A = this chain, B = another copy of it.
Amino acid sequence: MCGKCYCFLGVFGMVSAADFVGRDIISIKDFTREEIDYILKVAGEMEYLAKGGSDMLRGKIMAALFFEPSTRTRLSFETAMYKLGGAVIGFSEPEISSIRKGENLADTVRVVEKYADVIVLRHPAEGAARFAAEYAEVPVINAGSGAEEHPTQALLDLYTIIKEKGRIDGLTIALMGDLKYGRTVHSLAHALSLYNVKLILVSPESLRMRREVLEDIKKRIEISEHTDVESVLPEIDVLYVTRIQKERFPDIAEYAKVRGSYKIDLNILRKAKENLIILHPLPRVDEISVEVDSTPFAKYFQQVRNGLVVRMALLALILGAIKE
């Protein structure tokens, strides 16, 4: 059952490219599993175009409005647009934008939509992307807002798992690190809960997954919480590592105590399954030792490439360039 109707048909046939035209990408929660699967399928078809480029979006403009710095995400969206033949405008330096003159976000959006066919927004405030989408007549893609949502990161995480493991259903997946403030893990945890997975959460006591996220996910899938990765490592198929930021700890001694326990190196990986894959939203600091980079476990740089095709798929879909 697809959750969108009461029919008994195969669910995949219910979703089509037309469902995405003009649509905002604000939260992963706005998408059904079938819609997510559809996006990932289109992303797969973008692998070829990501090599040679395309004229699919020639004449179209993407505005990248980055109210906080995120070089990686910005470059990924820009590359996606260029690979499809479109152009990019925007800013990544809020201090020199008209914001300095006191303009509010609603006015900024209503100006930029006069230039652009789609707006990609990164903003430090919770809910900023949803707010912008309410004012904009063109579609808005949330490239991270506040500490909550980063839907395109979640989609590229899913795409990476499918590409590397052939499926998501049936896997045991661990999310490790800062599960309280990490922007990416909340979107990802929700997305994974749409699949038939076993979820393992590994974090210091003070950085456990937020209760409201946990309660919601628990309704759909099996979850267990741990403070130690070594004990769970032998059973997991996917290890998703995130950074633990020093600033999150009021007490530096507490930070010093936990950080060693959340570092992945060759020694700890001796306990891992042979075909374990390790993901990380990047940038990493030292939570994954560089010696791991050259092992077959490491898929975090491939994740970056996967982000490109996923964003190409989203841009092509919402701008109506995918025909069936």
Contact = CB atoms under 8 A, between A and B. Distances in A.
B63 A53 contact: no
Interface stretch (A100-108, A187-195, A217-225): A100-108
A110 B78 CA distance: 17
A283 B79 contact: no
Contacts of A196: none
A134 interface: no
Contact of A71 (B69, B98, B114): B98
Copies of this chain, complex-wide, total: 3
A165 interface: no
Contact of A282 (B79, B93, B111): B111
A20 B97 CA distance: 32
A139 to B, nearest CB: 16
B89 A75 contact: yes
Interface residues of A, number: 50
Nearest to A101: B283
B107 A284 contact: yes
Contacts of A69: 96-98, 100
A112 interface: yes
Interface in A97-138: 97-98, 100-103, 106-107, 110-112, 114-116
Given A70-B98, A71-B91, A79-B87, 20 more contacts: A53-B58, A53-B59, A54-B59, A59-B83, A63-B75, A69-B97, A71-B97, A72-B111, A75-B115, A82-B89, A91-B92, A92-B96, A101-B283, A101-B285, A103-B285, A107-B282, A107-B284, A111-B301, A111-B304, A114-B308
Interface of A: 52-54, 58-61, 63, 69-72, 75-76, 78-79, 82-83, 87, 89-93, 96-98, 100-103, 106-107, 110-112, 114-116, 282-285, 290, 301-302, 304-305, 307-308
